[in-house]
Amino acid sequence: MLIPLRILGYNPLSSSDDNRLIDILDEASNFDVVMLAGTGKRFENGITSCVRANFSVYSCGYSRSPLTNKSCGVALALGKRFASARVFEPLFAGGRITGRAMAVRVRNSVLDMMCIFLYFPPVPWKKSQHPSYRETIRLIIAWLSEVLDKLPAGTLPALFADVNDGIGKQLAGGSLQNFPTSVVSEAAAGREKLKGGAGESLRILLDLHGISAVSSWSDPRPTFFGNHGNESLLDHIFLPLALLEATWSAGPLMNMAKRLQLIQRKGPADHAPTHACFWYLRRHLDAPPPSSPQVQVCPELATIKWDIDKLMMGVREGRQRREFIAELELVMEKFAEDNAMLLEDATPDRYFTAMDSAIIRCAHGFFGKMHRLLTLREKSLPNNDSNF
């Protein structure tokens, strides 16, 4: 069944007051899902739930920690469409980052979705605070990586993040360069440079899972308006890349922002809500998979996991880059020899699938979480402990 879904994401500056929360939900009455990051609510022994303005609200406040502050807190509001849905036990990032991340899975007869919301800290001005900032980013990304790795098959991931950083540009050799990625559109990549590590870390992880900032493709306007006229694109809704074509509306909602903003001034102030509206079709888990040609795909691909730290070091510092490229050249030579008949008989899609699995298996040997696979060079060496 094809259904329309409407998702709203917003950093409200504060929604700890009930009247403020009701004002937000009244404005969002046409949306199915409202995700809030930056609620300013204190932690109260886990996830709290309530009903406000015809929405079922689940929230996780912040705890006292060097890695959190009174701006933290996240919440999810589910509209009438989910009145009879099963809401699984919410997952929240506890410990030192309580109030910065939460995930809630919702499922009914036509929908199975994991709502994930993240609140990253801004880059601190003081260098003495940089170690705490980097540790916060590391913990949030590690938590998100685990959530995505354990996502059930057929469950749609929908993320809202106040990144407080760009996700499309980086400083390299004294000049700004666009990242070659599908996570963010070229127009949005041209808006923001990376100020810290949050944007880069998030981009790398989401790219591995084929998840894209749909709001940046449709309408890459700024979502944050500072005190001195500065504007930034910091807030994003992320969905699987395959849903880009099914998205009919996305981006910041400036009229709603004007009605909801707490700071009294003529122009827009602080964060603006952003949204994504798209068509969703759930693939039933009991339906037989579509038939496809049999290709030689390595068995490790079914359980493969990536080590984000290794990938980050490879991107930032080029660690293992030469070794990986040299090994990949050998893998491609051997692939061409072993699959000469496949090239003659197979369709381009089938050949690419087989080649892609060989490349991923090679990359996993250098950047995977599991015990590293032997490279071709190591397999040709005598059998001793130095091979592992």
Q: Tell me which of 111-115, 168-172, 278-282 is least confident.
A: 168-172
The model's pLDDT over 256-284, given as tens digits with 9 standing for 90+, comes to 999 998 887 888 888 999 999 998 876 54
Under 8 Å between Cβ of 238 and 212: yes
Beta-carbon contacts of residue 85 (< 8 Å; ≥ 6 apart): 78, 106, 107, 108, 111
The model's pLDDT over 293-326, given as tens digits with 9 standing for 90+, comes to 343 444 445 556 777 777 777 766 777 778 888 8
**pLDDT for res 232:** 86
Helix (H, G, I), strand (E, B) or coil at 203: helix
Residue 308 DSSP code = H
Which of 156, 191, 224, 147 is CA-nearest to residue 7? 156
pTM over 0.85: no
C-alpha span between 113 and 105 (Å, rounded): 6
Q: What CATH number was assigned to the domain covering residues 2-281?
A: 3.60.10.10
E strands of the chain, at which residues?
Answer: 2-10, 33-37, 48-52, 55-60, 74-78, 86-87, 91-92, 101-107, 112-119, 156-162, 169-172, 175-178, 211-213, 224-225, 231-232, 235-240, 247-252, 270-271, 274-281
Which sequence spans correspond to the domains of the chain? Answer: 2-281, 299-387
The model's pLDDT over 61-108, given as tens digits with 9 standing for 90+, comes to 888 888 888 888 899 999 988 888 999 988 988 888 988 999 999 998
C-alpha span between 110 and 121 (Å, rounded): 36
Confidence of residue 190 (pLDDT cuts 50, 70, 90): low
**pLDDT at position 147 over 80:** yes
**pLDDT at position 341 over 70:** no
